[in-house]
Chains A and B, each alone.
Chain A
Amino acid sequence: QKEVEQNSGPLSVPEGAIASLNCTYSDRVSQSFFWYRQYSGKSPELIMSIYSNGDKEDGRFTAQLNKASQYVSLLIRDSQPSDSATYLCAVKNQGGKLIFGQGTELSVKP
């Protein structure tokens, strides 16, 4: 089992819809969780971080964490074509290293 798993997609949603991106992780003691956005040909950029169970909202983005289920998700409300990118889930493991999932490609259709 990979340490951090994501569906590779592509996930296609219409403009204005909610995009839901999911991630599971295997290290039960992980405490820090991050979502990065990566546009084609560019470097990853941090968009959300979450450390405790529940929801964390920042504008159109909501990160959700469930440590019991070892599950973290990212919701993007009112999706825009400019949200089309690959979204990387990253989990800081017990050794302090950041482990990345393979990324989910999101396509928002006008």
Chain B
Amino acid sequence: NAGVTQTPKFQVLKTGQSMTLQCAQDMNHNSMYWYRQDPGMGLRLIYYSASEGTTDKGEVPNGYNVSRLNKREFSLRLESAAPSQTSVYFCASRGSLAFETQYFGPGTRLLVL
């Protein structure tokens, strides 16, 4: 049971380049989330998917798009990277029970030059 996996672990981009961050979970969870974490800012929700086929904006969605490919996979795309998107990105998933919490992947460290 791998839990939540993310690729890549680390990426350097130039301003204007695009990339997709991949996330997969093997816990049969319905809900999946993308967060970014910046120093002093805590975790901020970018997008989430409550179930396969649905996605919704979180607190900081600008500059990002997401795809819920199937129940296991939830990807985050940066179409035109900006230095302000330099951050650590975490994917998380959660089961359906009301009191369940989220389980996080190992994170992707992104540097945009």
Interface residues, chain A, with chain B CB atoms under 8 Å away: 4, 8, 32, 34, 42-46, 49, 51, 88, 90, 97-98, 100-103
Contact = CB atoms under 8 A, between A and B. Distances in A.
A85 B81 CA distance: 31
Interface string B27-49: 00000010000001111110010
Interface residues of B, number: 19
Given A43-B107, A88-B43, A102-B40, A34 B101 contact: yes
Instruction: Rank and list the top 4 A-B pairs by shortest CB-CB distance, nearest first.
Output: A102-B42, A43-B104, A100-B43, A100-B42
Contacts, number: 41
Interface of B: 33, 40-45, 48, 58, 90, 98-99, 101-107
27 contacts: A4-B42, A32-B99, A34-B101, A42-B106, A43-B106, A44-B43, A44-B90, A44-B104, A45-B104, A46-B101, A46-B103, A49-B99, A51-B99, A90-B101, A97-B45, A97-B48, A97-B58, A98-B33, A98-B45, A98-B101, A98-B102, A100-B42, A100-B43, A100-B44, A101-B42, A102-B42, A103-B42
